[in-house]
Structure 1
Amino acid sequence: MPVPGKVALSAALGCACVLWIGSAASRAQDLRPTTEVAASYSASIELLYDKPYVSVMVNERGPFRFLIDTGTGTQALVSPELAEQLALPVVGHARLTDPSGLGEQRSEIVLMRAVTIAGVEFAQVKAVRHKLYGEGENCQGVLGFTLFKDYLLTLNFPERRLVLARGEIAQDGGSSALPFRMPDGVPIVALRIGGMHVEAQIDSGGTGLSFPETVAEHLKFLSTPIAFGNGESLATRFQIKAARLRPDVRLGRYTFRQAFVEINPAFPLVNVGSTPLAKFVVTFDQAKMLLRLSSNAKTLHLNASPTQLELINEPKREASDRKLVPVG
């Protein structure tokens, strides 16, 4: 899910992912698919605690369960167990730190020769080998947002389908298509909370609607926020609070009325996770930098995520370490 300094919002059974940023040229080359899509390909989505998982073949082996995480700004993440099982070669290293700057880890970058999802094969996919925080047996890896840069990526939560297609989203003045920016490979959109305008990450690998304390302190709630869960970084632990908002939350033309939100002291941006996204069919066009939302209702109600939350203040990659470190 992360941009630098991002806190990963995960369910107790959710992944925390790692950001790896390569050069723009290397990303474009690595993400070139070996299979052309004539119209569209689709695959079923398995929703676990509202988060979308798909079956993936890696190097013609599998299937393996991977999380589709638009909040991960890299091609992929794999568990150490899967990397060992498939004997994935190490092609570089990433240095990981948390936003406090007090902790640091070094992780390997491994190469997956072929990753196949929904009948589309991606070649030479680089993945950070890292522990999948809190995932247990839920999945063996994560597919990040930038893997799908050459396609329209649709996550149809109500019908539990993933669709990859060629084409583009047409501008409609913000009615259903919202512009986004992605400075670190993660889509960030405009969000309105009452009269406050903020930026929010669209994070299918997250859980609920999460606010940083710096935003929450300016808002009114229906009741005093209370302790809801725990967060952990490489160096620190902290408490998550939760409450229902008094003002409405506006995402494009859709309104969340008195939404249940989590509040944390480490997350720098508002995070729109899989529980609010589960109300929508969401399509991403990375070429046009547009996101299209579709739902049967204009006014939506948001309750707590369907499992107790654990907030992971996710490691980030240092700006000074943006290139792969050659092996040997």
Structure 2
Amino acid sequence: MPAPGKVGFGSAVGIAGALILCVWAFASPAQNPVEPSPSVSEAPASYSAPIELIHDKPYISVMVNGRGPFRFLIDTGTGGQALVSPELADELALPVAGHARLMDPSGVGEQRSDILRVHSLKIAGVEFADIKAIRHRLYGEEDICKGVLGFTLFKDYLFTLDYPGRRLVLTSGVIDPNGGSVLTFRMPDGVPIVPLHIDGQHVEAQVDSGGTGLSLPDSVAARLKFLSTPVEFGRGESLATRFQIKAARLRPDVRLGHYAFKQAFVEINPAFPLVNLGSTPMQHFMVTFDQERMLMRLYSNQKTLHLDASPTPLELNNEPRREASDRKLVPIG
């Protein structure tokens, strides 16, 4: 999501994205350390299932320990295997296997959460076994889904989010470079980071399907020209701070591989160091990730693209919070 924790986008509306698990620390006293990678059962070469787009973000049906299905958010901006809501964790009586530290990209906020042991997650016909999931409130998502599937869960597959076709595809093999644009990425915290070019400047962007729009840090926005002066668009919260979000349309193109966004609508935040590429700009693409070779392939049938403001759940405008939260520990998404 637009950076870890929870970010409110739109007219003072709080929309959750997923949170990025920047630091994992396992502490399980009377047992062996928890392994970070799931095992994957034998499977045919290719699996596919429909995804549901809600406020542009992708959701999928998941069986958890043979029960469900439950709706989960697919979030490439979460650098772990999975998150589960406290409600689902309690319903399924998921056992605690250790503890994790969650840290937002600002490097300031930090929160400690339980690691839960999940026997199996079944997604698109693939069964992932022995999963370590973080127990965490899904701020702004409680009424939409029961959990989050993180990027590294799919490390053993070519992992495709086909936004136009509304499908998740898991397959073996290598990325086909024909007809698209192939970018290298790095993933220091389990989240893919790719190069973008704006007005001749090279910047790095987190690819965050759990987020919504294209969000720029102040340090990048200060070097760019806009069609009009950025104005207040919303407010956000990280694990450590609250901040104002501004928005405007860029004058120069944003270039992502072979593709260009013309006069893109962007959000501007003072809290995080990297550009965040959410699901609204990704709507144009079939996006495939190869974590073994650190490659991402984008395919769209158009080379010049348009990016408007992210959709917002306006019905939440006046909805009160269900319970008070520690101001320092509100995830932003």
TM bucket normalised to smaller? 0.7 to 0.9
Structure 1 residues 58, 240: CA separation in 2 closer, same or farther (over 3 Å shift)?
same
Which one is further off, 88-97 or 116-125? 88-97
| Aligned residue in 2 for 1:214 | 219
User: Does the residue aligned with 2:88 lie in a helix, a strand or coil?
Assistant: helix
Other structure's SS at 1:26 match: coil
The residue identity in structure 2 corresponding to 1:259 is: A
1:252 counterpart = 2:261: no
Query: Does structure 2 conserve the Cα–Cα contact (< 8 Å) formed by 1:10 and 1:207?
Result: no
Is the Cα contact below 8 Å between 1:177 and 1:293 reproduced in 2? yes
1:190, CA displacement in angstroms?
A: 0.6
Equivalent in the alignment of 2:24: 21
**Alignment pair present for 1:49 and 2:55:** yes
Deviation at 1:308, TM superposition (A): 6.3
Q: For the structure 1 residues 193 and 308, does the alpha-carbon distance in structure 2 shift closer, same or farther, using more than 3 Å as the test?
A: farther
TM-score, normalization by structure 1: 0.87
1:21-42, Cα deviation, whole Å (9 max, x unpaired): 379x933xx3221132x22110
Give the TM-score normalised by the residue count of structure 2. Answer: 0.86
Q: How big is each residue's C-alpha offset from its partner over 1:147-173, in whole Å with a ceiling of 9 and x where there is no partner?
A: 00000000000010000001111567x
* Separation in structure 2 between the aligned mates of residue 249 and residue 101 of structure 1, nearest angstrom: 27
1:149 alignment partner in structure 2: 155
Unaligned residue ranges in structure 1 (runs of 5+): 317-328
List structure 1 runs of 4+ shifted beyond 4 angstroms: 6-11, 97-104, 312-316
Whether 2:73 is the aligned partner of 1:67: answer yes
The equivalent position to 1:34 in structure 2, one of 18, 28, 41, is 41
Q: By how many angstroms is 1:10 displaced? A: 6.4
Task: Report SS of the residue matched to 2:168.
Answer: strand
Are residues 1:111 and 2:117 paired? yes
Percent identity (aligned): 67
- 1:18, 1:128 within 8 Å by CA — same for their partners in 2? no
Counterpart CA distance in 1 for 2:143 and 2:313 is 17
Give distance in 2, aligned partners of 1:152 and 1:258.
32
Alignment of 1:1-328 (within 5 A): 1=1, 12-19=14-21, 21=24, 26-27=35-36, 30-36=37-43, 38-98=44-104, 104-170=110-176, 176-307=181-312
Give the count of matched residue pairs.
309
Does structure 2 conserve the Cα–Cα contact (< 8 Å) formed by 1:18 and 1:77? no
Cα gap change, 1:175 to 1:99, in 2 (>3 Å): closer
SS in 2 for 1:215: helix
Mapped to 1, the partners of 2:68 and 2:172 lie a distance apart of: 26
Contact 2:40 2:129 in 1 (8 A): yes
Q: Which runs of 5+ in 2 are unaligned?
A: 27-33, 318-327
Q: Is the 8 A contact 2:106 2:272 kept in 1?
A: no
CA contact (8 A) 1:75 1:125 kept: yes
1:201-230 Cα shifts (integer Å, max 9, x gaps): 111001000000010001000000000011
How much does 1:84 deviate? 0.4
CA RMSD of aligned residues (A): 2.7
Q: Provide the C-alpha distance between the structure 2 equivalents of 1:179 and 1:17, rounded to a whole number of angstroms.
A: 23
